[in-house]
Structure 1
Amino acid sequence: LTVAAAVGAAAARHDARPGGPALLDLLGRLLETALATGALATVWVVCRRGRSEHRLDRRLDAHLVRRLPLAALTLLVLTLVYAGWERPGWTSSGRLPGDLTFGGIALAQGALVISLAVVAAALHRGSTGDPEGRAALRGLGGPAVATLACALGGVMSGGVSQRVSDWLDGTGTSLAGPPVLLTWQASVIPALLLVQLALCALLGRRVWLLTRAEQAAVAREYDTGPGDPARTRRIARARAMATLTDRGPLLVAVTAATTLLLGAGALVGAFTTGTTPQRAAVSAHPLVRGAAETGQALGSWLIGLGFLLFVTWGRRAYKDASARRTIGILWDVGTFWPRAAHPFAPPCYAERAVPDLTWRMATWTRATGGRLVISGHSQGSVLAAAAAWQLQPADRRRVALLTYGSPIERLYGRWFPAHFGPAALTALHEEIACWRNLYRLTDPIGGPVRLSGDDCGPQVDHPPLADPLAYGRTARHPLPAPILGHSDYQADPAFALERERLLGRLRPEMPPQRPRPEEPQAPAAAEA
């Protein structure tokens, strides 16, 4: 529908002039009415299909939803036929209608982001669920990510428009170019990259200083003395690199703020001058004019390069296991939340996984009367906590929670404090039988839960696990122990020890497990 509107608007405007062909004028008005109707129907369908957390939605797609894509495609074909009809004496000139549209979209996005920031700041200020100030960007994480999403959409559309316009108009004499706003946005990209490079340099220097400080800590913990400098440096570097996760909010904040300021500058430049940066700087100093031309050209090519890298990375996920694993992590985090949080993304898997896990836990404890330790690694720890929250209080007291490599506080607690903040995690700690969390200093994803054991039971966090398990060769480790980071927590002896301790700490008055009728000897406990 968008393409049809862009193609048909110019022809309809020409046919509406006095003295134009009446038949084409009528067809143009009918097509414009049909396109407006299709746009309204699309918006209505999207709003109507919003999910709710308070009712079960078993409705199938209506006839309108199923037929809307075919109707839009039909309108596009009719519009192309209408616009391609021969009109004697009419030649195309100037720009396609869209400059004002692009500017309006950018202005509306900026206004929405600022409104989101005001609301988020007010909600965070009035909330008591973050007494230590651990929330990312003081509650402004959502508006910052929304800013980056809008900028990414602008960059992708700008890159495609720039490259296609250059390809269609190799001589630069017949086409006026893409919308002015996209040219201004391309011109500010080099400045944004310079800010990014400066920030990366600062983070790199911090990692270098932290690596030097951690070398002394590694020597003390493993009691190695001089030891092997290369191995000590590798362990210290792994610890220092793992801390970069905690600097993620800083990176997002600087990038979002810079993007918002540069985007506002591009919008003002496009609206005030009405021309590209090069033409706006014609009368300026030659240095300014050269900078404008260089920035626009470099930004245009960088956008095209970024689009190619985006597509290449998607194709790489089919061949490279590491790339597929990275995309899978982002996919898991993004599609964990209900569909209301991301209506255009794939369906939420937690809406199926959490009720299924909750049902299995409740069924097993009720059928056997036994005890249950549910362990979760990484994203599995978030699923385990969500499932435990859904249990009935009587069932919840029979369950112990063992998490390891868990992002439940380090990532979820900071970016989603209303759901995984200190108040929510403290309530979960009070309501389940017991909880133990394992983490490593070399883990870039998992971290401590940061719940003290004064008010609601024993300490949740285990002291940081040794990684590697041994510094040098030992009888148990004849080969140099690898630095595991986020993986293979169950290989650590502390895992089995803490699991047994959890079973022992479950309520002593809990009746012993009853054997099932079909199983004369059932295990004393189970791990999910």
Structure 2
Amino acid sequence: MTAGPGRAQAPSDEVVELRVHGVSAAGAAEVLGRPLVRQVAGDRSAGFYRPRPGLADEHGAGGVTLEAYRWNDLPSGTALRTLSLLFLMPFMLLNVAVWMRPGDAVGGAMVRALCRVLGLSLTALYVLAGAGVALDLVAWQCLSVPACIADREWLSWMGGRPVGLRLVVLALVPAAAVSLVWWGARRPGRSFTAFRAPERASVGPPLSTIGQWDTEPLMGRLRSIHIAVAFATLDGCLLAARAAQGVPPTVAALLAVTAALLLACVVLVCVPPLVDRAPTDPRRDRVARVLRGTAVGLTVVVAGYLLFAPARWRTGGGLPGYGSILTWLLVTHAVLLGGLGAVLLRHRLRARGHQPPNGLGALVVAAAAGGLAVAYSAELVQRTADLLDRGMSPADDIPGPARAYTWAIYGFFRALLVTLAAAAVVALVSRRGRIRAAQAIVERDFPAPPAEAVPRLRQVRTMIVRARFTDLLVPLAVLFAVMAGAGAATTAMALVHPEPGEALERRTHVPAELVMFGIEVGGVALSAAVLALVVAGIFAYRSPGFRHHVGVLFDLATFWPRAAHPFAPPCYAERAVPELARRITYLVRDGNGVLLSGYSHGSVLVAATVLQLPAEISARVALLTYSSPLRRLYARLFPAYVGDEMLRGIGGRVGWRWRNLWRDTDALGGWIFSPHRADEPARVPGPEATVDRRLRDPESLVAPPWDSVPPPINGHLPSEDDPAYAETVRDLAGRLRANGP
């Protein structure tokens, strides 16, 4: 077929099986199962591939034409970008949290507003970490101690300089870091704007909007607001230090302007008409840019005032006001998490047919984002303090980082420790029930196993037991969210107690030394975790096989458009979904039927794509999903975007030419409508009952006559080589051919 995309041909018997892989696939050859492939559309980042013509196995089951969409390079990038994403991971997680909001308008708006304010707090926290290193540890503490700057030429040139000059010069470090992130966030935002759906779909489920709207105007406004918060936070640190020496009218006025700027930023992100709507309205862009310019100008004014206004600085201890600012920021973060949890819990309690924990995904991910940001910040400041303090005598020791960081490490380590302990308890308590369920499954699948198959049968049962533990992660994640929020709240103790060990010794009689030893262990573990992330980022960039394991989080998180934090990585679905829709439209108008096949996370991509297809195009489309997390994970985590109504809408759009293959050994994927077996009646009425098909895994327990090892236990692995997959392809292709002419 050679017709152009604008020229329709009469339907034919030809069917194209378009395969969409899951996260971090190795390549198009692996997806197609053919060693030699050629690219027929797309570019180096993502494209469509077919087997090379002339091969004996050019076609698939049922004579379909094989084609694969390879998109796994869209979320990746250079090694430097991969490493930067590791440290910007809290922003990425928070951006995912905003998409986990409830489906009702009021609850969704409140979750969106709270997540965006939490995003502002994370930006401020990162700036405070930079200020803690540059202003508190170096400019204020280290440069005031001769032993600290001895043998350090990169610092000694500032020794003996006026305090105001030291603060202004070292403030350039966090200011430069903010500017670098600002510059980097502007670059990738336009990479996918050239890809739009060929035709706008009619109003439908919310998931159909993925890839249909341009997020750049929103991100431009949010970038300006976050940059304003960043510079205003830096100004607050400088002015708080100056106010501790006395509060002349100029300092009071500058503090008032700084507070007004921060309040204006909070109001802007909480009022959707000021940020979200009217993407082409230059007035809203102008408001955000004016706010950003005012914050940058205020920083210049504050720096000039510290340089030229006379002041008698009383040095000693930590940077005045810095610890209080950090503590109150962490307390505010905990209050915001509490408000987010209250909104989500209220919504789930009012929703019928759902358990409350299933609707708290936004709280869990937001708490994880905050905990990770606190861990990064605390470790950066703590390790810098260790570096500066190395080799100094006790009499010359610098005071060290703010006490709030010690409390933050204590809170994060406590949350992690309690959650791991709870996970161990849950695993042990639930193990007997999971073993019973797994035993019942293997007895029905393999009713009379031979004696030599007993070890293999035990392996299958173990796989099912492990796979069922996924369903127990929801309450554990909620527990971590609650503990992380409580950990952030306990940083308020830094205002009244110097160290966690002393406070706990007074209340619980636990030796302070034991508590501080635990905190030190937690700090070392945190440092090791950060180092492991860096090493993982390097290997993920260099090794596609390793990227398959560590890149899953990035691929899943960057599916959702940026809506909460502008410094999160761009959304590849803004290209992938419209590009898939464009390709399917071309193939159908060229006279083909299209069997759209989605594996794992690829099933989410194809679901969003089907919702964007016009009716005349989807009438020539069939859908095959396998190892799909749509029901098991996405329906729980993203209730506003994936639910029964949306799933039924997908089936209706393709005329219920939809099959979903799933296994009991799969820890991530599962059934869509009904978990029944082939010999059981479906648990749902109507055409939904025909969608799900359970696959026995493995096919048998003993090696076939032509092999020396038994068939593998596939679990979450792809199913293209499974005979049931080929049978399903033949069935769906036959239905497309029967429906075509």
Question: How far did 1:151 drift?
Answer: 1.8
Q: CA deviation at 1:197?
A: 3.3
1:346-366 CA-to-partner distances (Å, cap 9, x unmatched) read 111111111121122223223
Partner of 1:520: none
Q: Deviation per CA, 1:118-145: give whole Å up to 9, x if none.
A: 32234334556xx4x3x78231211222
Partner of 2:474: 249
1:513-528 correspondence to structure 2 within 5 Å: none
Q: After the TM superposition, which of the residue ranges 465-474 and 320-329 deviates more from structure 2?
A: 320-329
Supply the distance in 1 between the matched residues of 2:417 and 2:499 (Cα, whole angstroms). 22
- Range 437-446 or range 359-368, more displaced: 359-368
> 1:221-240 to 2 correspondence within 5 Å?
221-222=445-446, 223-240=448-465
CA distance in 2, matches of 1:445, 1:57: 43
Q: Which moved more, 1:8-17 or 1:247-256?
A: 8-17
Alignment counterpart, residue 436 of structure 1, candidates 645, 650, 659: 659
Are residue 110 (structure 1) and residue 340 (structure 2) matched? no
Q: Distance in 2 between matches of 1:364 and 1:242?
A: 38
Aligned equivalent of 1:159, options 374, 379, 403:
379
Which of 708, 712, 733 is the equivalent residue of 1:503? 733
Corresponding position: 1:333 with 2:556: yes
Identity %, equivalent residues: 31
Q: Confirm or deny: 8 A CA contact 1:219 1:225 kept in the other structure.
A: no
- Confirm whether residue 101 of structure 1 aligns to residue 325 of structure 2: yes
Gaps of at least 5 residues in structure 2 are 1-126, 132-170, 172-234, 675-682
Secondary structure of 2:461's aligned partner? helix
What residue identity is the alignment partner of 2:344? A
Partners of 2:453 and 2:281 in 1: how far apart? Answer: 62
Q: CA separation in 1, counterparts of 2:367 and 2:275?
A: 24
Quickly say closer, same or farther: Cα 1:54–1:140, change in 2 above 3 A: farther
Structure 1 contact 445–486 (Cα < 8 Å) conserved: yes
CA-CA distance at 1:103 after TM superposition: 2.0
Q: Which residue of 1 is the match for residue 601 of structure 2?
A: 379
Asked if structure 2 preserves the Cα contact closer than 8 Å seen for 1:374 and 1:399, the reply is yes
Query: Structure 1 residue 438: deviation in Å?
Result: 0.3
Return the alpha-carbon distance in structure 2 between the equivalents of residues 321 and 84 of structure 1: 55
Match of 1:297, SS?
A: helix
2:626 is equivalent to residue 395 of structure 1: no
1:182 Cα offset (Å): 1.9
Distance in 1, matches of 2:630 and 2:370, equals: 27
Letter paired with 2:480:
T
Q: Which residue of 2 aligns with 1:462?
A: 693
Q: Distance in 1 between matches of 2:470 and 2:659?
A: 22
Equivalence map 1:406-417=2 (5 Å) = 406-417=628-639
| Residues 1:404 and 2:635 aligned together | no
Query: Alignment partner of 1:489: what SS?
Result: coil
Cα distance in 1 for partners of 2:242, 2:273 equals 33
Aligned-partner Cα distance in 1 for 2:576–2:507: 62
The one of 458, 483, 487 equivalent to 2:717 is 487
- Match for residue 144 of structure 1? 364
Distance 1:500 1:494 in 2: 10
CA distance in 2, matches of 1:470, 1:82: 77
Query: Would you say the 8 A contact 1:378–1:407 is kept in 2?
Result: yes
Which position in structure 2 is the counterpart of 1:290? 513
Report the TM-score when normalising by structure 1.
0.79
Q: Which has the larger displacement, 227-236 or 347-356? A: 227-236
User: How far does residue 157 in structure 1 lie from its aligned partner after superposition?
Assistant: 1.3
Instruction: State the 1:293 CA deviation.
Output: 3.2
1:269 paired to 2:489: no
Partner Cα distance (1:258, 1:330) in 2: 22
Deviates more, 1:429-438 or 1:295-304: 295-304
Q: State the distance in 2 between where 1:457 and 1:177 align.
A: 63
Instruction: Check the 8 A contact 2:697/2:714 in 1, yes or no.
Output: yes
Cα shift at 1:447 = 0.8
**Corresponding position of 1:420:** 642
User: d(CA) in 1 for partners of 2:532 and 2:617?
Assistant: 49
SS at match of 1:318: helix
Distance in 1 (CA, whole Å) between partners of 2:322 and 2:273 is 29
Does the C-alpha gap of structure 1 residues 287 and 479 become closer, same or farther in structure 2, counting only changes over 3 Å? closer
Superposition TM-score, scaled by structure 2 size: 0.58
* Partner amino acid, structure 1, of 2:712: P
Structure-2 separation of matches of 1:192 and 1:306: 16
1:124 pairs with 2:348: yes
User: 1:516 aligns to what?
Assistant: none
- Shift, 1:153, TM fit: 1.4
Relative to structure 1, the CA distance from residue 435 to residue 183 in structure 2 (aligned partners, 3 Å threshold; closer, same or farther) is same
Partners of 2:708 and 2:325 in 1: how far apart?
A: 68
Q: Is the 8 A contact 2:240 2:322 kept in 1?
A: no
TM-aligned CA deviation for residue 249 of structure 1: 1.0
Secondary structure in structure 2 of the residue aligned to 1:491:
coil
- Name structure 1 gaps, 5 residues minimum: 19-24, 513-528
Name which structure has the greater RCO, CA cutoff 8 Å, separation 6+. 2
Distance of aligned partners of 1:52 and 1:500 in 2 relative to their CA distance in 1, 3 Å threshold: farther
Contact 1:121/1:138 (8 A) holds in 2 = no
Q: Is the 8 A contact 2:536 2:550 kept in 1?
A: no
Aligned equivalents of 1:53, 1:332: Cα separation in 2: 28
- Residues 6/297 of structure 1: CA separation in 2 closer, same or farther (3 Å cut): farther
Q: Report the AA paired with residue 379 of structure 1.
A: H
Shift of 1:410: 1.1
C-alpha contact (below 8 Å) 1:7/1:83 kept by paired residues: no
Is residue 237–residue 322 contact of structure 2 (8 Å, CA) maintained in 1?
no
**1:407 deviation in Å?**
0.9
The AA in structure 1 aligned to 2:464 is: R
Distance in 1 (CA, whole Å) between partners of 2:429 and 2:617 is 47
CA distance in 2, matches of 1:351, 1:53: 19
| CA distance in structure 1 between the aligned counterparts of 2:257 and 2:507, rounded to whole angstroms | 47
- Tell me what 1:517 maps to: none
- The superposition leaves residues 230-253 of structure 1 with CA deviations (integer Å, 9 ceiling, x where unpaired) of 222222222222222222212211
Change (3 A) 1:408 1:281: closer
Aligned to 1:309: 532
Equivalent-residue separation in structure 1 for 2:569 and 2:267 (angstroms): 20
1:260 aligns with 2:485: yes
Counterparts in 2 of 1:194 and 1:31: CA distance versus 1, 3 Å = closer
Identify the residue that residue 356 of structure 1 maps to in structure 2. Answer: 579
Counterpart code for 1:460: V
CA–CA separation in structure 1 for the residues paired with 2:282 and 2:725: 42
